[in-house]
Amino acid sequence: MNAAASVSPWQRLWGAYVRWSTHYPVLAALVPFVPVVALWAAVARSGLFPPVFFPGPVVVIQKFGTLMANGILPAYLEDSVIRLAAGTAVGLAIGIPLGLLVGLSDRAHRALWPVLLFFQAIGDIAWLPILLIWFGFGLTTMIFVIVYTVVFPVVLNTVLGVRSVPLELHRAARSLGASKARVVWEVVLPGALPNIMTGLRNGLGFGWRALIAAEIIVGTSGIGFLMFDARRAGSVVEILLGMIVLGVLWYIVDSWVLAPIERATGERWGLVTRRD
Amino acid sequence: MRRPSRFAAAAMFMLPLLALVVIWGAVVRAFDVSPRVFPAIEPVLKAGVDAIRDGTLILHIGASLGRIALGTLIGIVFAVPLGIAMGTNRAVSTFFTPLLRFFSVLAGIAWIPIATLWFGYGFGAITFVIFNAVFFVVAYNTLLGVTGIAMSLRHAAASLGATRWQLLTEVLLPGALPNIVTGVRTGLGFAWRGLIAAEMIATNVGLGYMLFVARDFYRTEVIVLGMIIIGALWLLIDRLLLAPLERATIERWGMVRAA
Amino acid sequence: MKSLTIEHLQKIYFDPFANKQVTAIRDISLAVEAGDFVSVVGPSGCGKTTMLNMIAGFLAPSGGQIRVDGHAVHGPGPDRGVVFQSFALFPWRTVLDNVAFGPKMRGVPKARRHEIAREYLALAGLSHAAERYPNELSGGMQQRVGVVRALANEPDVLLMDEPFASVDAQTRMTLQEELTRIWEQRRPTVLFITHDVNEAVFLANRVIVLSHGAVRDDIAISLPRPRSWDALIEDAGFKALAARVLQQVRAA
């Protein structure tokens, strides 16, 4: 066994990587994708799969450029994002108050909890056929689906959060002169906030998936439509492009916006969140 | 607090739902709702009985359940060993976590278009979507679970004489099990939705198909029947299978999940 | 029980943040006779946990030799049992199954290994907790399980890494007394790492002071046994020894 006094070049490289990625966490998130993209390019070039089924990264990037330049991608992206945002806003507006009600009232809980679970179990997508009958192939149908999808995780997690606020906090507030309504606003809502964030995060995770499915089936515009329309034309490039755009977008939103907020509310206030 | 018997708990669960059914029947009658908008209770029941009699219901349910069972099974079988293998080496796990996270984030429905391109319409594409949803989510969660096992536990096992295989079966698997179960539950959630969506688009048998084709003929009673069956099936799977599994591992062992 | 010998142990590793090699252990040589109880103390960062991890085989030394009963050892193994500061009990196994883990690894059949486990649990007064899970027990009880789990595997040497640092002061005193009692009954070869000077003197026959990755002093403890806190806490001999060790540690 020898005691190496000198540092090998691999160690220096690893040391540099560790230092940089601590300063710039973006690096740690991006670097692992480099070998994947390289592998992708190699497999595509090797001709193992016909280019019709498996295009290389270069072609995809070119298509990205084209679709950005002629405004199609930004337009579709805008459509998808607006639908998701609108649906989420409505979902929160319904879900949080409903969650408060069910969480605070034992009677409401007994009456509504099984109903909520059952309707959540039906799932957003199964509603599409009847929604198409009611509202046709349009925006209302899509927004409804997203609202439906977002509402349940939000409600269920809000209920969890509300019920995790200790009774003593209620009592402390009341004995300091707060009315029942004030208690909800000043104590229950902040106390349940970390869980609400978890619910929002989960809801969005299911929500964007429901959006894509709805866009595929309802088919007017949006990233989902882009992918399925390309599939109909047999063009795989846009499909891959769409998937990458979706993945990158959601990765950014979830990892760098939602997760930090979820952690911040939970950690700053020393509360514990549970994933549901 | 005395826990109600399982029978009593099930009854308490059903009561609000039964109340909902009663309300349903009353509303349809009171407002004279057109059957093209929403069916009354009797047509739905009749549609159910008919579908059972001519075998189509069993066919559709069987197709859907078959696809989800197969896709989930294959997904888990590949994902868990991969997750464990990646998790045992710290450098490998640190490097691959963002990658696996990206794919688990994309998993499921987003793969429908490319799946139908690669596998054509039918069983293959749908089962792939299910497999995809389960595989990435379970692999990611397994990875999280294994890396979350305290080093001291691995050391303890080693200093008690465990071989590498024993370390795997006695420490890594049980240690990662809560995360694996969470992964299965989440992945199955995505897979179930992917199943229904894919069946609407890409096949001619299954619950999703049954719903979608009924729409063409404004047969709302079949649609509602299908929706109830889908809801009941998922409730059964989740509440009778997954939630107890989660409770048995996490709560009994008092372990904390990595978020 | 066997003897433990460490010859010129050395540990140098690469720190990516400092971007250079760091010497954690310069040169440690010490010998523990079979059946002896040796404590190792030192200020934080002196390398005592690193040393223990190398002896246990969790960390590879950069230089030097570790011998058990004269034979060199590499990597972890059942010949060197370990008791961890964080207890390291398997949360998915009952107390009984935790203690039976070592024999299970050796292939001892179920009935026999449960018998062995119960015997050792009785030694620590834990028979009533056999069917519980670790998360249902207090910290002190968990560590008792940790100790008998290591003992039940009958290692040649027992390594203890600040095992009582995570329990409250009163429980700690009780556990220390129990440890000496068990030791006097079974006479394992023990190497006990701690930062608590009083604990080191109370438990051991020899106290070794580490500093800056090397042995600074080796003090014999000739207090009579059995030892109890009631007797020793005001004992002049104990206080003198503790003071001496403390002086060495602080000067380090």
Q: Are C167 and C149 members of one domain?
A: no
Q: Are C200 and C232 members of one domain?
A: yes
- pLDDT of residue B116 exceeding 80, the answer is yes
- pLDDT of residue C204 exceeding 50, the answer is yes
pLDDT at C124: 87
Map tokens 């142990």 to a residue. Answer: C9
Task: Tell me whether strands C206-211 and C189-193 are parallel, antiparallel or unpaired.
Answer: unpaired
pTM of the predicted protein model: 0.83
Interface residues from chain B to C (CB-CB < 8 Å): 150, 152-153, 155-163, 166, 170-171, 174-175, 177, 249, 252-255
Residue C93 within any structural domain of the chain:
yes
Q: Are C74 and C116 members of one domain?
A: no
Strand-pair partners of C131: none
How distant, in Å, are the alpha carbons of C42, C207, C245 from that of C200? 10, 7, 9
Q: What is the residue type of C236?
A: A
| A10: closest CA of chain C, how far (Å) | 11
CA atoms of B202 and B115, how far apart (whole Å): 10
Q: Do A18 and C17 touch (CB under 8 A)?
A: yes
Task: Tell me whether strands C157-161 and C4-15 are parallel, antiparallel or unpaired.
Answer: unpaired
The last residue of one of the domains, among C154, C171, C186, is C154
pLDDT at B153: 93
Chain Cα centroid distance, residue A2 = 52
- pLDDT of residue C163 exceeding 70, the answer is yes
C9 falls in which pLDDT band (50, 70, 90)? very high
Q: Residue B255: its chain C contacts at CB < 8 A?
A: 91-92, 135
Asked whether the beta carbons of A125 and A132 are under 8 A apart, the reply is: no
Structural domain boundaries, residue A141:
57-268
Dihedral of alpha carbons B20, B22, B24, B26, sign: negative
- pLDDT of residue C65 exceeding 80, the answer is yes
pLDDT at A30: 80
Q: Are C169 and C106 members of one domain?
A: no
CA atoms of B141 and B135, how far apart (whole Å): 10
What is the tens place of the pLDDT at every residue in A169-200?
888 888 887 888 888 888 888 888 888 988 89
The last residue of one of the domains, among C120, C154, C188, is C154
B75 falls in which pLDDT band (50, 70, 90)? very high
Burial class (CB in 10 A: 0-12, 13-18, 19+), A275: middle
Residue A261 within any structural domain of the chain:
yes
- pLDDT of residue C54 exceeding 90, the answer is yes
How distant, in Å, are the alpha carbons of A162, A165, A174, A187, A195 from that of A171? 15, 11, 5, 10, 21
Q: Are C187 and C111 members of one domain?
A: no
Per the rule left: phi > 0, alpha: psi between -120 and 50, beta: everything else, C230 is alpha
Q: Are C75 and C166 members of one domain?
A: yes
Closest residue by Cα to residue C38 from C144, C184, C177, C159 = C159
What contacts C48, CB < 8 A, 6 or more positions away?
Answer: C40, C41, C42, C193, C195, C210
Best residue in A2, A6, A10, A11 to probe C by mutation, most C CBs within 10 Å?
A11
What is the tens place of the pLDDT at every residue in B9-67?
778 888 888 999 999 989 888 888 888 888 888 889 998 898 888 888 999 999 999 99
- B109 in reach of chain A (CB within 8 A): yes
Residue C10, classed as helix, strand or coil, is strand
Asked whether the beta carbons of C157 and C80 are under 8 A apart, the reply is: yes
Q: Are C217 and C97 members of one domain?
A: no
Q: Are C54 and C12 members of one domain?
A: yes
C164 falls in which pLDDT band (50, 70, 90)? very high
End-to-end CA distance of chain C: give it in Å, rounded: 32
Number of domains making up chain C: 2
A31 falls in which pLDDT band (50, 70, 90)? confident
Mean pLDDT rounded to a whole number for chain A: 85
Segments in chain C forming alpha helices (H): 48-56, 95-99, 101-106, 110-123, 139-152, 169-186, 197-203, 229-232, 236-251
What is the tens place of the pLDDT at every residue in B230-242?
999 998 988 888 8
For residues C227 and A267, which has the higher predicted lDDT (pLDDT)?
C227
CATH number of the domain that residue A126 is part of: 1.10.3720.10
pLDDT at B37: 84
- pLDDT of residue C138 exceeding 50, the answer is yes
- pLDDT of residue C211 exceeding 90, the answer is no
The greatest distance separating any two alpha carbons of chain A, rounded to the nearest whole angstrom, comes to 78
- pLDDT of residue C176 exceeding 50, the answer is yes
Chain Cα centroid distance, residue B215 = 25
Q: Do B200 and A125 touch (CB under 8 A)?
A: yes
Mean pLDDT rounded to a whole number for chain C: 90
Residue A36 within any structural domain of the chain:
no
Asked whether the beta carbons of C85 and C161 are under 8 A apart, the reply is: yes
Instruction: Please state which of the ranges A29-33, B171-175, C200-204 shows the lowest mean pLDDT.
Output: A29-33
Structural domain boundaries, residue C57:
4-79+156-251
Q: Are C100 and C128 members of one domain?
A: yes
Residue C40 within any structural domain of the chain:
yes
Segment C228-250 shows an average pLDDT of 91
Say which of C80, C89, C105 has its CB closest to residue B162: C105
Count of CB atoms situated within 10 Å of the CB of B68: 25
CA atoms of A238 and A229, how far apart (whole Å): 9
Token reading at C231? 């007797």
What is the tens place of the pLDDT at every residue in B142-188?
998 898 888 899 999 999 999 999 999 999 999 898 889 888 988 99
- B14 in reach of chain A (CB within 8 A): yes
Closest residue by Cα to residue C188 from C139, C142, C148 = C148
Asked whether the beta carbons of C132 and B188 are under 8 A apart, the reply is: no
pLDDT at B251: 67
pLDDT at A268: 61
Strand-pair partners of C219: C207
Q: What percent of chain C has pLDDT over 90?
A: 59
Q: Do B159 and C135 touch (CB under 8 A)?
A: no
- pLDDT of residue C40 exceeding 90, the answer is yes
Nearest CA in chain C to A14: C16
What is the tens place of the pLDDT at every residue in A208-246?
889 998 898 887 888 889 988 888 888 889 899 999 998
Token reading at B184? 């299965």
What contacts B72, CB < 8 A, 6 or more positions away?
Answer: B130, B131, B134, B184, B187, B188, B191
Q: Do B16 and A227 touch (CB under 8 A)?
A: no
Residue A122 within any structural domain of the chain:
yes
Superfamily of domain B56-253: MetI-like (1.10.3720.10)
What contacts A214, CB < 8 A, 6 or more positions away?
Answer: A125, A128, A141, A142, A145, A146, A224
Closest residue by Cα to residue A117 from A159, A58, A60 = A159
Q: Do A15 and C61 touch (CB under 8 A)?
A: no
Q: Are C161 and C73 members of one domain?
A: yes
Q: What is the dihedral of CA A37, A38, A41, A44, to 10 degrees?
A: -100
pLDDT at C190: 95
- pLDDT of residue A95 exceeding 90, the answer is yes
Residue A40 within any structural domain of the chain:
no
R_g of chain B computed on alpha carbons = 22
Number of domains making up chain A: 1
pLDDT at A269: 61
pLDDT at A33: 86
Peptide bond into C226 cis (omega under 30): yes
Beta strands in B43-171 (DSSP E): none
Asked whether the beta carbons of A183 and A170 are under 8 A apart, the reply is: yes
A267 falls in which pLDDT band (50, 70, 90)? low
A-B CB pairs within 8 A amount to 161
pLDDT at A1: 40
CATH number of the domain that residue C216 is part of: 3.40.50.300
DSSP assigned state of B3: P
Q: Do C81 and B160 touch (CB under 8 A)?
A: yes
Map tokens 């992918």 to a residue. Answer: A227
| C230: closest CA of chain B, how far (Å) | 34
Q: What percent of chain C has pLDDT over 70?
A: 100
Best residue in B101, B227, B241, B255 to probe A by mutation, most A CBs within 10 Å?
B227
Q: Are C117 and C223 members of one domain?
A: no
DSSP assigned state of A145: H
CA atoms of C32 and C192, how far apart (whole Å): 11
Q: Do B193 and A254 touch (CB under 8 A)?
A: no
Segment B119-125 shows an average pLDDT of 87
The last residue of one of the domains, among C154, C180, C201, is C154
Q: Which helix (H) or strand (E) holds C217?
A: strand C214-220
Q: Which helix (H) or strand (E) holds A268?
A: helix A259-268
pLDDT at A273: 43
Token reading at A223? 């990233």
Q: Are C114 and C147 members of one domain?
A: yes
Closest residue by Cα to residue B212 from A138, A120, A130 = A130
| C56: closest CA of chain B, how far (Å) | 7
